Protein backbone atom coordinates (compact mmCIF):
# COMPACT_ATOMS: atom_id res chain seq x y z
CA UNK A 1 0.00 0.00 0.00
CA UNK A 2 1.38 3.41 -0.96
CA UNK A 3 1.08 6.16 1.62
CA UNK A 4 1.65 9.86 1.00
CA UNK A 5 3.45 12.11 3.45
CA UNK A 6 4.16 15.82 3.46
CA UNK A 7 7.50 16.62 5.09
CA UNK A 8 9.31 19.89 5.69
CA UNK A 9 13.11 20.14 5.55
CA UNK A 10 14.80 23.49 6.12
CA UNK A 11 11.56 25.31 5.45
CA UNK A 12 10.87 23.54 2.13
CA UNK A 13 7.85 21.23 1.91
CA UNK A 14 8.01 17.98 -0.04
CA UNK A 15 5.38 15.36 -0.91
CA UNK A 16 6.70 11.83 -0.44
CA UNK A 17 5.10 8.51 -1.36
CA UNK A 18 6.22 5.43 0.56
CA UNK A 19 5.28 1.80 0.19
CA UNK A 20 4.36 0.05 3.39
CA UNK A 21 6.17 -3.30 3.57
CA UNK A 22 4.67 -4.89 6.61
CA UNK A 23 3.72 -4.29 10.14
CA UNK A 24 0.51 -2.82 11.46
CA UNK A 25 -0.52 0.54 9.99
CA UNK A 26 -0.29 3.29 12.59
CA UNK A 27 -2.58 6.30 12.70
CA UNK A 28 -1.07 9.36 11.07
CA UNK A 29 -0.06 12.02 13.57
CA UNK A 30 0.60 15.62 12.69
CA UNK A 31 3.58 17.00 14.56
CA UNK A 32 4.31 20.69 14.39
CA UNK A 33 8.00 21.38 14.92
CA UNK A 34 8.82 24.53 16.89
CA UNK A 35 10.06 27.35 14.72
CA UNK A 36 13.25 29.01 15.89
CA UNK A 37 13.86 32.61 14.92
CA UNK A 38 17.50 33.64 14.76
CA UNK A 39 19.06 36.96 13.97
CA UNK A 40 20.99 36.91 10.72
CA UNK A 41 24.34 38.63 10.83
CA UNK A 42 25.54 40.58 7.82
CA UNK A 43 27.94 38.46 5.72
CA UNK A 44 31.57 39.35 6.10
CA UNK A 45 33.66 39.67 2.98
CA UNK A 46 36.61 37.35 2.78
CA UNK A 47 39.52 38.24 0.52
CA UNK A 48 40.04 35.98 -2.47
CA UNK A 49 43.27 34.01 -2.73
CA UNK A 50 45.61 36.14 -4.88
CA UNK A 51 47.47 33.15 -6.37
CA UNK A 52 44.38 31.36 -7.72
CA UNK A 53 42.33 33.32 -10.25
CA UNK A 54 38.76 32.09 -10.51
CA UNK A 55 36.36 33.30 -13.18
CA UNK A 56 32.65 32.83 -13.76
CA UNK A 57 31.68 29.61 -15.52
CA UNK A 58 30.01 29.68 -18.91
CA UNK A 59 27.75 27.06 -20.46
CA UNK A 60 30.61 25.47 -22.43
CA UNK A 61 32.89 24.87 -19.43
CA UNK A 62 34.40 21.42 -18.89
CA UNK A 63 32.76 19.75 -15.91
CA UNK A 64 33.97 17.44 -13.16
CA UNK A 65 33.51 13.80 -14.16
CA UNK A 66 33.02 12.75 -10.51
CA UNK A 67 32.93 14.28 -7.04
CA UNK A 68 36.33 14.96 -5.49
CA UNK A 69 38.92 17.52 -4.40
CA UNK A 70 41.07 19.63 -6.73
CA UNK A 71 44.67 18.78 -5.80
CA UNK A 72 46.51 20.82 -8.46
CA UNK A 73 45.67 23.21 -11.27
CA UNK A 74 48.32 22.66 -13.97
CA UNK A 75 47.46 25.56 -16.31
CA UNK A 76 46.78 29.29 -16.08
CA UNK A 77 44.28 31.56 -17.80
CA UNK A 78 45.62 32.44 -21.25
CA UNK A 79 47.69 29.24 -21.69
CA UNK A 80 47.46 27.41 -25.02
CA UNK A 81 46.60 23.72 -24.49
CA UNK A 82 46.57 20.66 -26.74
CA UNK A 83 43.90 17.98 -26.87
CA UNK A 84 44.38 15.42 -24.03
CA UNK A 85 46.83 17.71 -22.18
CA UNK A 86 46.45 17.39 -18.37
CA UNK A 87 44.75 20.50 -16.94
CA UNK A 88 44.27 19.61 -13.28
CA UNK A 89 44.45 16.73 -10.81
CA UNK A 90 41.17 15.66 -9.17
CA UNK A 91 41.36 13.36 -6.14
CA UNK A 92 38.38 11.04 -5.87
CA UNK A 93 38.13 7.97 -3.62
CA UNK A 94 41.80 8.27 -2.62
CA UNK A 95 42.93 8.16 -6.27
CA UNK A 96 44.43 10.98 -8.32
CA UNK A 97 42.67 11.49 -11.66
CA UNK A 98 43.90 13.76 -14.44
CA UNK A 99 41.34 16.09 -15.98
CA UNK A 100 42.51 16.50 -19.59
CA UNK A 101 41.59 18.95 -22.35
CA UNK A 102 38.78 17.69 -24.56
CA UNK A 103 40.03 19.87 -27.43
CA UNK A 104 42.93 22.18 -28.28
CA UNK A 105 42.55 25.87 -27.56
CA UNK A 106 43.22 28.66 -25.10
CA UNK A 107 42.27 28.57 -21.40
CA UNK A 108 39.58 31.25 -21.06
CA UNK A 109 38.60 30.60 -17.44
CA UNK A 110 39.46 28.49 -14.41
CA UNK A 111 36.43 28.08 -12.15
CA UNK A 112 37.98 26.21 -9.18
CA UNK A 113 40.80 26.66 -6.68
CA UNK A 114 43.32 24.17 -5.39
CA UNK A 115 41.82 22.32 -2.43
CA UNK A 116 38.22 22.99 -3.48
CA UNK A 117 35.70 20.14 -3.19
CA UNK A 118 33.54 19.71 -6.29
CA UNK A 119 30.57 17.55 -7.21
CA UNK A 120 30.09 15.69 -10.49
CA UNK A 121 29.04 18.15 -13.19
CA UNK A 122 30.61 21.18 -11.49
CA UNK A 123 32.24 23.61 -13.97
CA UNK A 124 36.05 23.32 -13.79
CA UNK A 125 37.63 25.12 -16.74
CA UNK A 126 36.70 26.78 -20.03
CA UNK A 127 38.79 26.31 -23.19
CA UNK A 128 37.99 28.34 -26.31
pTM of the model: 0.55
Cα–Cα distance list, 24 to 3, 20, 27, 30, 90 (Å): 13, 9, 10, 18, 49
What is the pLDDT, as a whole number, of residue 58?
Answer: 58
Is residue 85 pLDDT above 70, yes or no? Answer: yes
Query: Among 44, 47, 53, which Cα is nearest to 75's?
Result: 53
Is residue 23 pLDDT above 50, yes or no? Answer: yes
Structural domains in the chain?
62-127 (2.40.50.100)
Dist. CA 128–CA 113, nearest whole Å = 20
If you average pLDDT over residues 37-60, what whole number do you get?
Answer: 53
- Across the chain, how many H-helices and E-strands are there? 0, 10
Amino acid sequence: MLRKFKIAIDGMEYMVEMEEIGGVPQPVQTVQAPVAVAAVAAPTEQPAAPDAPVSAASGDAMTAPMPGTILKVLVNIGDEVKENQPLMILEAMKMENEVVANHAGKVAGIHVNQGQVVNAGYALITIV
